[in-house]
């Protein structure tokens, strides 16, 4: 079973590297969104520093939405998804493998770009470490929740818009605690509780989302 | 003896009865050819057999055990070739085939399968440069690369040239000689010795409408 998991992750990574502008596109979108915020708000350093964590998180949410639509869509269209569903391993394993590959190609680059943007927004240095930490815990949760939406929109036209409407509201708790942790760290308050709650979100979605997403995919290929 | 059977199958698609009261049974070395006009449910029956579709009523069973009881075991003993060829444009022919063979736990058999279907010279060519017939051959190579007792082929000859159809016939004969089972839908291009024929037009419901 682990062999199959590895095989699907490797295949998706290979596909992403060969044809995918996905990672580049997601990071570019992230950078542009953050830069637009700073143009919109104005050059006042105190204001930018105050909203830095929120801007980075919201931009990261929107950027990770960009590629979610295609998480299952391409495999669905070329028939690969049917064959994955018929493979001798549970479809849930294939779903987790695809989510893992998705996070490695989009979530991880976002985390690498985040500190750079934090500097751009003059975020307080106290918050850098914790920003990386909350993104590391938070973005896998986003990919997992997003997989359920990506499964549900299979076969629908205008899936991307529908996906945002389905998924973005579910991202709110992650956003609140993600930003809260960074703000707490900058303000010198304890932030452990935020991290624990984000960890709970990740554990909860890791336990539930693969089943929900696999059920949605089965529904779509029937 | 292994028996692949279906009993009293009712298939409903979009509120319309596709076929009803359908039984079938195939044993080792057996073959079943599905024929019938467009829309008579050949593909739906194959999808029921694969487990992609759940029957509205009735049961599909392998050795008396319903395939829905253990879908992974069914996936391990079965190959399904549908309308889509599942060839990734960015992966080479070899990578495409070995990925699917690897899912079934076979890795060393890919070259032989490519050889048999005369696409070994395309081994390193990315999927996006293949013609429809070549893609179909890649899809069939996936079946040959990982031996499984049950083949479900939905119009496997689509886009294939005459020589490849002959190859496919020979492979099916070999598969059956080894105790394998083949179920395929066709419009009559493949002559199979001693194969059962299932005419799906005989299982149509009268009015076709049922209460949801």
Domain ranges of chain A: 2-221
pLDDT higher than 60, residue B208:
no
Per-10-residue mean pLDDT, chain A, length 222: 88 87 88 92 88 93 88 92 92 95 93 92 89 95 96 87 92 95 92 95 96 95 86
- How close A207 comes to chain B (CA, Å)? 20
Interface predicted TM-score of the whole assembly (ipTM), two decimals: 0.89
Question: B80 vs A83: CB contact, 8 Å cut-off?
Answer: yes
Question: B87 vs A19: CB contact, 8 Å cut-off?
Answer: no
Chain A CB within 8 Å of residue B90 CB: yes
**Lowest-confidence segment of A57-61, A93-97, B70-74, B202-206 by average pLDDT:** B202-206
Question: B85 vs A19: CB contact, 8 Å cut-off?
Answer: no
Can you give the pLDDT at residue A160?
83
Question: Which backbone phi and psi does B207 adopt, to 5 degrees?
Answer: -85, -25
A158 φψ region: left (φ > 0), alpha (ψ -120 to 50), beta (else): left
Question: B78 vs A7: CB contact, 8 Å cut-off?
Answer: no
Structure tokens of A160? 């991307």
Which one of B52, B87, B105 has the shortest CB-CB distance to A85? B52
- How close A18 comes to chain B (CA, Å)? 6
Can you give the pLDDT at residue B60?
94
Rounded Cα gap, residues B102 and B120, in angstroms: 18
Question: A18 vs B90: CB contact, 8 Å cut-off?
Answer: yes
Which one of A18, A80, A86 has the shortest CB-CB distance to B52? A86
pLDDT higher than 80, residue B189:
no
| Best mutation target, A4, A8, A88, A91, to test chain B (most B CBs within 10 A) | A88
Local structure of residue A69 (DSSP, 8 states): T
User: At a CB cut-off of 8 Å and minimum separation 6, what does A46 contact?
Assistant: none
Span B22-45, pLDDT tens digits:
999 999 999 999 988 888 889 999
Rounded Cα gap, residues A149 and A128, in angstroms: 31
Can you give the pLDDT at residue B210?
46
Span B102-137, pLDDT tens digits:
998 887 789 999 999 999 999 999 999 999 999 999
Can you give the pLDDT at residue A196?
96
Rounded Cα gap, residues B126 and B151, in angstroms: 26
The alpha carbon of A159 is separated from its chain's Cα centroid by a whole number of angstroms, namely 17
| CA distances, A191 to each of A15, A177, A178, A198 (Å) | 39, 10, 10, 11
Question: A78 vs B72: CB contact, 8 Å cut-off?
Answer: no
Rounded Cα gap, residues B20 and B13, in angstroms: 12
Token pair 């004969």 is at which residue?
B173
Q: Would you say B106 and B147 are in contact if contact means Cβ atoms under 8 Å apart?
A: yes
Q: Where are the alpha helices (DSSP H) in chain A?
A: 2-19, 22-41, 45-68, 70-77, 80-85, 91-102, 108-120, 128-152, 159-187, 192-221
Chain A CB within 8 Å of residue B102 CB: yes
Q: Which residues of B touch A3 (CB under 8 A)?
A: 102, 105
Can you give the pLDDT at residue B206?
60
Which one of B76, B82, B91 has the shortest CB-CB distance to A82? B82
| CA distances, B63 to each of A91, A171, B166 (Å) | 24, 47, 31
The alpha carbon of A198 is separated from its chain's Cα centroid by a whole number of angstroms, namely 14
Q: Would you say B149 and B2 are in contact if contact means Cβ atoms under 8 Å apart?
A: yes
What is the average pLDDT value for chain B, to the nearest integer? 89
Q: Which residues of B touch A90 (CB under 8 A)?
A: 71-72
Residue B1's pLDDT band (cuts 50, 70, 90): low
Q: Would you say B32 and B198 are in contact if contact means Cβ atoms under 8 Å apart?
A: yes
Can you give the pLDDT at residue A8?
94
Residue B56's pLDDT band (cuts 50, 70, 90): very high
- How close B17 comes to chain A (CA, Å)? 16
């Amino acid at each position: 079973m682990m062999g199959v998991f590895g095989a699907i992750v490797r295949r998706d990574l290979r596909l992403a590297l060969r044809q995918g502008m996905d990672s580049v596109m997601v990071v570019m979108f992230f950078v542009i969104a953050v830069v637009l915020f700073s143009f919109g708000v104005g050059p006042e350093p105190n204001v930018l520093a105050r909203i830095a964590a929120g801007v980075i998180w919201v931009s990261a949410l929107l950027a990770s939405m960009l590629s979610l639509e295609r998480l299952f869509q391409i495999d669905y269209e070329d028939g690969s998804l049917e064959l994955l569903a018929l493979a001798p391993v549970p479809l849930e394993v294939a779903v987790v493998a695809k989510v893992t590959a998705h996070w490695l190609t989009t979530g991880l680059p976002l985390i690498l770009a985040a500190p750079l943007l934090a500097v751009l927004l003059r975020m307080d240095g106290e918050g850098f470490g914790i920003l990386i930490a909350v993104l590391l815990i938070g973005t896998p949760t986003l990919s997992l929740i997003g997989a359920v939406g990506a499964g549900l929109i299979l076969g629908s036209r205008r899936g991307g818009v529908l996906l945002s409407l389905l998924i973005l509201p579910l991202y709110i708790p992650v956003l609140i605690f993600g930003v809260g942790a960074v703000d707490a760290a900058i303000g010198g308050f304890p932030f452990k509780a935020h991290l624990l709650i984000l960890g709970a979100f990740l554990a909860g979605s890791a336990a539930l989302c693969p089943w929900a997403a696999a059920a949605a995919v089965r529904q779509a290929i029937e | 003896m292994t028996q692949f059977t279906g009993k009293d199958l009712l298939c409903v698609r979009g509120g319309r009865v596709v076929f009803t009261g359908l039984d079938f049974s195939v044993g080792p070395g057996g073959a079943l050819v599905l024929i019938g006009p467009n829309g008579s449910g050949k593909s739906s029956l194959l999808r029921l057999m694969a487990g992609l579709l759940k029957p509205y009523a009735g049961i599909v069973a392998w050795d008396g055990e319903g395939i829905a009881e253990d879908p992974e075991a069914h996936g391990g003993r079965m190959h399904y070739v549908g309308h889509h060829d599942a060839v990734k444009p960015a992966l080479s022919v070899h990578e495409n085939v070995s990925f699917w063979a690897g899912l079934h736990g076979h890795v060393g058999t890919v070259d032989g399968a490519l050889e048999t279907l005369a696409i070994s010279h395309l081994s390193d060519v990315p999927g996006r440069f293949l013609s429809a017939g070549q893609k179909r051959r890649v899809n069939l190579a996936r079946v040959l690369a990982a031996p499984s007792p049950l083949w479900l082929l939905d119009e496997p000859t689509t886009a294939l040239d005459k020589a490849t159809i002959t190859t496919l016939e020979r492979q099916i004969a070999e598969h059956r000689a080894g105790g394998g089972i083949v179920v395929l839908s066709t419009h009559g291009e493949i002559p199979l010795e001693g194969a059962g024929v299932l005419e799906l037009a005989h299982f149509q419901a009268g009015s076709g409408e049922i209460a949801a």
